[in-house]
Chain A
Amino acid sequence: AQRVTQPEKLLSVFKGAPVELKCNYSYSGSPELFWYVQYSRQRLQLLLRHISRESIKGFTADLNKGETSFHLKKPFAQEEDSAMYYCALSEVKAAGNKLTFGGGTRVLVKP
């Protein structure tokens, strides 16, 4: 069965400092990986997906199949980045697109 692990429950950084959220996964097939974000009093929303290889709000994430990781990085954190971040793995089959989520990492960016 697939599993997603986010080892840090809380990351506290100062504004302008780099931030890296760790995500490791276990999956026997070819994974599709995502980062979702939940800002205070807002609903969960997609931040980025590995197949797009894009940078969203200054965040990037690279899939490392050798290390089975999909860490999220931003070189200069901003206060508006304070939120709950979830790494998720999609089990893609002919029918079904179920997501397995990690436990989440709360990011607090201090001024």
Chain B
Amino acid sequence: IAGITQAPTSQILAAGRRMTLRCTQDMRHNAMYWYRQDLGLGLRLIHYSNTAGTTGKGEVPDGYSVSRANTDDFPLTLASAVPSQTSVYFCASSGSSGGANEQFFGPGTRLTVL
């Protein structure tokens, strides 16, 4: 693995189903983030984690949960998917939890909720 990876690449999901989007980085970055990208709205922060064992809410956290059991992994779970969660989801990481450090982004997961 080099950098930051996400799985799956895309998914079609029935409303009401549970779904976990996976994110893994091998850069030993402390901080990780989940964004959703919607046309005209840019990227909006869902949840973040400054270091393993801690998480925080972003701008649009409702309907999503995260965990950070270790440094490398930061899964995003939709407990009961709704059509408004149709979006492209990006995971990102940065080298420090403080300071304006560059964020490195994964390739994205395109999720469609029907």
Q: Any chain A CB within 8 A of the CB of B102?
A: yes
Interface string of B40-84 (1 = CB under 8 A from A): 111111001010000010110000000000000000000000000
Identify the stretch in A54-62, A64-72, A97-105 within 8 Å (CB) of chain B at 4 or more residues: A97-105
Cβ-defined contact, B100 with A43, below 8 A: no
Chain A nearest CB, measured from B5 CB (Å): 10
On chain B, the number of residues with a Cβ less than 8 Å from chain A's Cβ atoms is 29
Cβ-defined contact, A104 with B98, below 8 A: no
On chain A, the number of residues with a Cβ less than 8 Å from chain B's Cβ atoms is 26
Q: Any chain A CB within 8 A of the CB of B11?
A: no
Identify the stretch in A12-20, A75-83, A88-96 within 8 Å (CB) of chain B at 4 or more residues: A88-96
Q: Any chain A CB within 8 A of the CB of B107?
A: yes
Contact A97/B44 with A45-B105, A90-B100, A92-B100 known, Cβ cut-off 8 Å? no
Q: Inside 8 A of A92's CB, which chain B residues have their CB?
A: 98-100
Q: Inside 8 A of B45's CB, which chain A residues have their CB?
A: 98-100
Q: Any chain A CB within 8 A of the CB of B25?
A: no
Q: Any chain B CB within 8 A of the CB of A74?
A: no
Q: Any chain A CB within 8 A of the CB of B87?
A: no
Cβ-defined contact, B100 with A51, below 8 A: yes
Cβ-defined contact, A97 with B40, below 8 A: no
Q: Any chain A CB within 8 A of the CB of B96?
A: yes
Q: Inside 8 A of B33's CB, which chain A residues have their CB?
A: 98-99
- Complex formed: what's the CA distance from A92 to B56 in Å? 15
Which positions in A face B, CB cutoff 8 Å?
4, 6, 9, 32, 34, 43-46, 49, 51, 86, 90, 92-104
- Between A and B, 14 residue pairs with Cβ closer than 8 Å are A43-B107, A44-B105, A45-B105, A49-B100, A90-B100, A93-B98, A94-B98, A95-B97, A97-B101, A97-B103, A98-B45, A99-B45, A100-B59, A101-B35
